[in-house]
Amino acid sequence: MMINSRYKVNVAVVLFIVWMLVQAVRSAVGGEPYPAIKYPGFPGNGKAALTSRELYKVAGKERTLITHYESVYGHARYRKLLQDITVAVDNNDENARLKMLSGLRDIKGLQRGDTVEIVERTWQATKSGYAENAINRRQIVL
Amino acid sequence: MNWIVSAWNKWLFDEYKFLGAEAVGAFRVFYCLAMFLVGFNSYSSISRYAPELYNPKRSLAIWFDLPSPIFFQLLDYFILLCLILLLFGFRAKWTSLILGLALIIGNSFLYSFDKISHGNLLTTFIPLVMAFSNWGARFSIERSDKQEVEYWPVSLMSFIIGFGMFTAGVFKVVGGWLNPSYQAIKFHVFKSFLNLREGLFTGVVVEMGTPVLWEVMDYVIVIFEIGFLLVVFNRKWFQGWIVAAIFFHIGVLLVLDISFSKNVVVYFLFLNWAFILGTMRYSQFLSFLTKGFNYPTMVVFILAIFAIKYFFGSPYLMSHLPFDKAGNSSILFGLALLVIFGSWFQIFYERRTPKNVSL
C-alpha cells in the first residue's frame, strides 16, 4: 500500500529518525557491537606502542596476510586466532590445533604440516617520529 | 511552532521536487547498472569463512545458526534477479523492498563474522527508501507519464547520509581528534603505511606532513562530517557538501587506500540530472534506452547475467577488471567528476540551466 498521506509519511519518517538516534546513542553508550568501531588508542603521550604488523612466510614466499584477514574477520579476532594456534602448537594440543586450522583453511597454501614464520614488528611513536621497537620471529608447524 | 512544522513539511515534501520524475527514474537505472559495476557483497563467500568465528551480536542472525552454503548461493542468485527486475522497473516498489530485505538478511550473516563493511550501508538503504518514491514510473517496463513521483524519500536519503556522516564526526570528537597535542589523521596514515596498505599518495603525505598540516586535516575532516547533518535541510548546501564528499572520498582512497565508491553511487541521486539527461537526449541515447525496457530484453538480460554468474562466479564487472582497487574505483569517481564539472561548465557558459537547478 502506497503511503500517500502526508500525515502517515511524517509519522513514519519521524519514527525512523528516532530509531536511528536510539541506535546511535545505544552504540555510543551501551558498549559496542564491533571493536573496530571504537577508535584505537592514540599515542597521546608519545610513548605508547603505536601498531604492529605481521608478515608470514609460507613456503619461502613472504606474504602479508593481515590485510586479507582484516577484510574477512576483523583485526582483533584474527590476532586471537593466531595466538590460539600458537598456544595449541606449544602445548601439543591436537584437538585445539585442528580447530584453529579450520580457521586458516581459506588461505591458499596454508595447510596442516606447513611451516609458518611469524614476524611481529612493534612500532613506537617517539618525539622525532616513529621507530621500530622490536622484531620477534618464530616458526610454527601447523 | 507552526513555522517549524511548515519548514519541516517544505523540506520533506518539496525540497527535492526540482529533480523531476525523470531524474528519479533515471537514478533507479543508474543505481542498478552501477551495482553491476561495483557489485553487492557475495554472500556465497560466507561458506569459506571459519564457522568458529560466526558470532552474531545484534541482527537477524542472532536467531539462527549459520545456514548451509546452498542458502547463500540461492541468496546471491535471488539478489541478482531482484536487481535485474528493478533495472527494468518490473513492480518497482515491491522489487525494491524485497531486494532491500534480501540485502539485510545477507548482511546480517556476513557481519556476524565481526567485520562490518560500511561501504555497503547506503546502497542497502537506497532500495528500501526509494521504493516509496514510485521510481519505476519512468524509464521502465511499466512507465507511465501519468504516475506521480514522491520526493520525500529523496529528502529522507539526504538525512540518512547526513546523519551517518554526523555520527562519524561525533565519534572522532569523542576520540580526541580535536586535541592539538596529537594528530589523529597522522596516526591513521602511519597505521596504514606500516600495515603495507598504501594508497597512491600515502608515501608523499607521510613525507610532507607537518604537525600543523596534520592538525588542520583533523579539524577539516571533523567539521566536514559533522556539518553534513547541518546542511541537510538546504538542498544547495547539501549538493555542495556532496561534491566535497566526492573529493573527500577520492582523497581517502589515494592516501589511506580505502574505497567508498558505493557511496558515490548514492551521491548521484543529488547531482545534476538535468545535465545528465540533457546530454543523453542530445546523443539520442535516451530514446534508445527507453525502447530497451521491454519483457523480451529483460528475460534475455536475466539469462545472460545468470549464465555469467554460473560460469564466471561473479557477474559484477569490477571483479573481472584487471585493475587494482584504485583503478576500479576511479571509474565511478571519474564519472562523478565528469558530471560535476560538466554541470559547472553548463551553468557557467550556457546559462540555460533552469533557475531551480544548481550544480
Cα separations in angstroms, B247 against B264, B323, B333, B336: 10, 21, 9, 10
A20 vs B: CB within 8 A = yes
Query: Per-residue pLDDT for B197 more than 70?
Result: no
- Residue A85 pLDDT class (50, 70, 90 cuts): low
Give residue-wise pLDDT tens across range A16-69.
Answer: 999 888 877 776 665 433 332 233 332 222 222 222 233 333 333 333 333 223
Average pLDDT, chain B: 83
pLDDT of res. A101: 65
Average pLDDT, integer, range B232-256: 88
Tell me the torsion sign for CA atoms B168, A33, B53, B49: negative
A74 vs B: CB within 8 A = yes
Give residue-wise pLDDT tens across range B38-49.
Answer: 877 778 878 766
pLDDT of res. B229: 92
Residue B231 DSSP one-character state: G
Distance, in Å, from the CA atom of B312 to the CA atom of B209, rounded to the nearest integer, reads 44
Of A50, A67, A103, the CB nearest to B50: A103
Q: Are the C-beta atoms of B32 and B87 separated by less than 8 Å?
A: yes
Average pLDDT, chain A: 54
Least-confidence region, from B9-18, B127-136, B167-176, B288-297: B167-176
Query: Per-residue pLDDT for B302 more than 50?
Result: yes
Nearest chain A Cα distance for residue B46, angstroms: 9
Nearest to B82, CA basis, from B128, B149, B138: B128
SS3 B2: helix
Q: Are the C-beta atoms of B263 and B245 separated by less than 8 Å?
A: yes
Query: Per-residue pLDDT for B129 more than 50?
Result: yes
Q: Where exactly are the structural domains of chain B?
A: 2-350
Nearest chain A Cα distance for residue B167, angstroms: 7
Give Cα B92 to chain centroid, integer Å.
Answer: 19
Average pLDDT, integer, range B330-354: 70
pLDDT of res. A115: 65
Of A36, A67, A123, the CB nearest to B197: A67
- Return the CA Rg of chain B: 21
A53 vs B: CB within 8 A = yes
Average pLDDT, integer, range B265-278: 85
SS3 B280: helix
Higher pLDDT, B252 or B175: B252
Least-confidence region, from A28-42, B28-42, B139-153: A28-42
Query: Per-residue pLDDT for B304 more than 50?
Result: yes
Give residue-wise pLDDT tens across range A96-114.
Answer: 766 666 656 544 345 666 6
- Residue B225 pLDDT class (50, 70, 90 cuts): very high
Higher pLDDT, A119 or A19: A19
Query: Per-residue pLDDT for B162 more than 90?
Result: yes
Q: Hey, are the CB atoms on B9 and A10 less than 8 Å from each other?
A: yes
Classify residue A48 as exposed, middle or buried by CB count within 10 Å of its CB (0-12, 13-18, 19+).
exposed
Q: Which three cell numbers stand for residue B213?
A: 598540516
Higher pLDDT, B100 or A31: B100
SS3 A142: coil
Q: Hey, are the CB atoms on A2 and B132 less than 8 Å from each other?
A: yes
Higher pLDDT, B146 or B65: B65
Least-confidence region, from A40-54, B53-67, B87-101: A40-54
Least-confidence region, from B147-156, B166-175, B312-321: B312-321
List of residues 6+ apart from A92 with CB closer than 8 A: none
DSSP conformation letters of B46-62 = GGGS-GGG----SSGGG
Cα separations in angstroms, B230 against A63, B13, B168, B237: 45, 18, 14, 9
Distance, in Å, from the CA atom of B241 to the CA atom of B223, rounded to the nearest integer, reads 11
Nearest chain B Cα distance for residue A106, angstroms: 6
- Residue B157 pLDDT class (50, 70, 90 cuts): very high
Nearest to A100, CA basis, from A44, A142, A65: A142
Give me the count of residues in chain A: 142
SS (H, E, C) A30-67: CCCCCHHHCCCCCCCCCCCEEEEEEEEEECCEEECCHH
Higher pLDDT, B355 or B317: B317
